[in-house]
Amino acid sequence: MPVEAIHLGAAKDPELWTVESVRAVAGKGLEGDRHFHPGGAAPGQALTLVAAEVVDEVGLRPGETRRQVTVRDVDVNGLVGKRFRVGEVECFGVELCEPCRHLEAMTRPGIIKELTHRAGINADILVGGVIRVGDPVVEL
C-alpha cells in the first residue's frame, strides 16, 4: 500500500488533518490544502511526498513532517527529476524538500539534522485527478 496517509492543513492553522482522498489539480496543488495556489503554483510547490520508513525511523507520527502524502516502499528521493504517478495523478519530482526551522519548532530540536536529504520531495502535478490512501506510486 504505497500511499499510506494524506495530510492537509489550513493556511493559519498549525494542525493538519488526515483524509482518505484528495483532488489534485494540475499546476495548482491539492484542493483544500494551505499550499493550493489557484493562480498556479511555482515549480515544486504543488505536492510534497515523504517516505513512511523515514518518518518511523526518526520517531515522528505520520503528518508531523508537514508533507502531504506519506508513502511506503518507495524510493522518494529517486523520484527527483522523474515523472511518476500517484494513483491516477501524474507528477514530476522537482527537488528534495529539506527540513526547516518551522518543522523543528513544531517537533523537536535536532530534527533538521535527522531529516537532512531525506525529508521528502517537492513535486509538480502535471495531470490532475484523485489521490487515495492505498494508491500505488509508479515511476513512468
Domains of the chain (ranges, CATH numbers): 3-11+18-132 (2.40.33.20)
Mark 14-28 as b/e (b = at least 16 C-beta within 10 Å): eebeebeebebbbeb
**Confidence category of residue 11, pLDDT binned at 50, 70, 90:** confident
Measured distance CA(93)–CA(111) in Å, rounded: 23
Summarised one tens digit per residue, pLDDT across range 89-102 is 999 999 999 998 88
pLDDT over 80 (residue 119):
yes
Residue 74 exposed, middle or buried by CB count within 10 Å (0-12, 13-18, 19+): buried
pLDDT over 90 (residue 80):
yes
Summarised one tens digit per residue, pLDDT across range 14-48 is 788 999 999 999 999 999 999 899 999 999 999 99
Kindly state the average pLDDT of the residues 47-76: 94
pLDDT over 90 (residue 56):
yes
How big is the chain by its Cα radius of gyration, in Å? 14
pLDDT of residue 1: 63
Mean pLDDT (the chain) is 93
Kindly state the average pLDDT of the residues 53-63: 92
